[in-house]
Structure 1
Amino acid sequence: MQINPFLIFKKLWCNKELIKSFSKREVISKYKGSFLGILWSFITPLLMLIVYTFVFSEVFKAKWSTGSGSKIEFAIIIFCGLLTFSIFGDVISRAPSLILSNTNYVKKVVFPLEILPVVALCSALINSFISLGILIICIGIFMGTIHWTLIFVPVVLCPLMFLSVGLGWLLSSLGVYLRDIAQIVTIAVQALMLLTPIFYPTTLIPQNLLFLYYLNPVGYVVEDMRKVIIWGKFPDWSSWGIEMLIGVVIFYLGYVWFQKTRAGFADVI
C-alpha cells in the first residue's frame, strides 16, 4: 500500500478539531471527580520534584557530573529527563489498548481511528508542558537564570513526537490482534527508561555498553532537552537530524501499517 506522506498530514489537519476535542476531554476526565481537579496537574510534578530531590541527593548522595554538587540542580536534571521520557512512555504504554478501549468507534466507518495515537500524544504533551512550566520556574528561582534557548524545546521534541505517533499506530494495531502485546510493551517501556540517561549522566555508561545509548532514540532527546532548558546550549544538530529522519520514517511506516490492518479490527473485536 502506497500512501502520499503529505496526505497523512492533510488528513490529520482536517481532523484537528476532533483531535483537540478528544485531547481536552482526556485531560479533564483524568481528574474528573477529584476535589482539586486540574490542579493535580501542577501539584503532582511539584511533589515529584521534591521527592526526587530528597531520594537522590539525601538517600543515595548522588551527584551529576557538572561539578556544582547542588542537590537542587541534580533534582532539576532528573526531572527534566523524566518529563521528556514521559511523553514517549505515556503514548507507547497506552498504544496497545487504544483501539480496544474505543471499540464503539471501530464500526463507525466515518470515524478516523488514526487520530487516537495523536490524541494520546497531545494529552501527554499537555501534562508534560505543565511539568515543564514548573521546571522553568524552579530553574529561575534556584539557578538564577532562564535561558533563551528554551525556544528550541518544540524543535528538540519533534523527532520524539513523530516516533511516538508512528509506534503508536503500529502498537495500537498489534494490540487488536495480539492481546499480550500490552504486557510486553509495559516491560519494554520500563526497561527503556532505565537504559535512558535519566538518573545518571552518559559519562557513567561503561564503554562496552555505550552502543545501548547510541541505539536508544529517546536518549538523544533527553540530552538535548537538558542542554536547551538547563544549560542554555544548542541541541546537537547532527544527532537531531538523524533522529528526525528516523522519526519521520517510523511515522510513515506506522501509518501505512495501521491503514493496512484496520480493515480487520471489527472482525477481531
Structure 2
Amino acid sequence: MSFWRNRQLILQFIKRDISSKYKGSYLGKIWSILTPLFMLAIYTFVFSVVFQAKWNVNTDNKLDFAFIIFSGMIAFNVFSDVILRAPNLIISNVNFVKKIVFPLEILVVVVMGSSLFLAGINSLILIIGQFILNGVIQWTVVLLPVVMLPLILITLGLGWFIASLGTYYRDISHVIGLIVSALMFMSPIFYPVSNIPEGLKGLYSLNPISHIVEDMRRVLVFGQMPNWEWIFFGSILGLVVSFLGLKWFNKTRGGFADVL
C-alpha cells in the first residue's frame, strides 16, 4: 500500500506542514498552545457570559460550559481544516504534479496528520483544564482514537474527492467554504441535541458530524461511553467514503497536469 511505503515521507511532510503554520513568528509552535487557550476563553465569555447560554448539566461553572463546546469544536476543526484546504491542495503543489513522480494522494493524509496533531494538543489542554478545575480526568479519554476513527475515514474520503474537483473547478473552494460554515451551525456544537425540535432530529441524525461531536463530549467531558452503534456504522461508512474518494482521486489524477 502506497501510504505504508511512503510513511516516512508522510511524517516529514506533516512536520513541515505544522512548522510552516508558525514559520517567521516570534513564538513559533507556542501558538499551537496559545490559540486553543484563547479560543477557550472566547467560548467561555461569549456563550456563558454574553448569551447566558445554559447546557443540560448540573453545573453553573462557566468553564464547564466552555469545555462542552470546546470538545465539539476539536472534532469539527479536524473536519473543517482538511475540507477547506482540500480544494487547493493540488493547485498549491504544482511542482509535485508536473516535474516529479510523487504520490499525490498522500497530500490529503498530510493535512489530516497536521490537523490531528493540533486536535491532540487541544484535547490535552481540555483534559488538563478539567483536572485543574474539577480534579478529575475521565478514564474514557482513552477511547478518543476510537471516537475519531469515523471522522478520520469520512474526512479523508471527502478530502480526496474535493482535492480532485478543486483542481478542475476553482469555484469549488468557495462552495465548500459555505457548506462547512453551514455544517458548523447545523451540528450540535453550541447547543445540546435536546434543544433540536423533534421534527428536525431525523435530519440531524443524517449528519455524521453530529454523532462525532456528541461522542467527543461523552468521552472527554462527561466520562460516558460513546455510541458504539454509531462507531460501528460510522466506521463502515467511513471506509466506503474513503475507498470511493481515493478511487475517484486516482481515476482523475491523470488530467491534473493538463489543467494546471
Q: How does 1:69-218 map to 2 (within 5 A)?
A: 69-108=60-99, 110-218=101-209
Q: Residues of 1 paired with 2:222 and 2:58: CA distance?
A: 13
Range 141-150 or range 250-259, more displaced: 141-150
CA distance in 2, matches of 1:223, 1:213: 12
Deviation per CA, 1:20-75: give whole Å up to 9, x if none: 00110011111011010100000010011111111111100011111223211100
Q: Residue by residue, what CA displacement relative to the aligned partner does 1:94-125 show, whole Å, maximum 9, x if unpaired?
A: 00100000011012452000000000100111
Structure 1 counterpart of 2:11: 20
The answer to whether residue 233 in structure 2 is matched with residue 253 in structure 1 is: no
Match for 1:86: what amino acid?
A: N
The one-letter code of the counterpart of 1:101 is S
Corresponding residue to 1:238 among 205, 211, 229: 229
Residue 221 (str. 1) matches residue 212 (str. 2) = yes
Instruction: Tell me which of 253, 257, 260 is aligned to 1:266.
Output: 257
C-alpha deviation, 1:11, in angstroms = 1.4
TM normalised by structure 1 equals: 0.95
Maintained 8 Å contact 1:98/1:116: yes
SS for the counterpart of 1:68 is: coil
Contact conserved, 1:12 with 1:115, CA < 8 A, in 2?
yes
Contact 1:148–1:232, Cα closer than 8 Å, also in 2: yes
Percent of matched pairs sharing the same residue: 51
- Is contact 2:79-2:155 (8 Å) kept? yes
Please say if residues 146 and 231 of structure 2, whose CA atoms lie closer than 8 Å, have aligned partners that are also in contact. Answer: no
Scaled by the length of structure 2, the TM-score of the pair is: 0.98
Aligned partner of 2:146: which letter? V
- Give secondary structure in 2 for the equivalent of 1:218: helix
Structure 2 distance, partners of 1:202, 1:46, is: 26
Match of 1:35 in 2: 26
Contact 1:73–1:143 under 8 Å retained in 2: no
Tell whether the 8 Å contact from 2:105 to 2:249 is kept in structure 1 after alignment: yes
Which among 28, 38, 56 is matched to residue 47 of structure 1? 38
| Runs of 4 or more consecutive aligned structure 1 residues displaced over 3 Å after TM superposition | none
Gaps of 5+ in 2: none
Once residues 163 and 109 of structure 1 are traced to their aligned partners in structure 2, the CA distance between those partners, rounded to angstroms, is 29
Give secondary structure in 1 for the equivalent of 2:223.
Answer: coil
Structure 1: tracts of 5 or more residues without a match:
1-9
How many angstroms apart in 2 are the aligned matches of 1:126 and 1:212?
A: 31
CA contact (8 A) 1:63 1:71 kept: no
For residues 99 and 129 of structure 2, the distance between their equivalents in structure 1, rounded to whole angstroms, comes to: 47
Name the SS for the 1:230 alignment partner. helix
Q: Distance in 2 between matches of 1:36 and 1:22?
A: 21
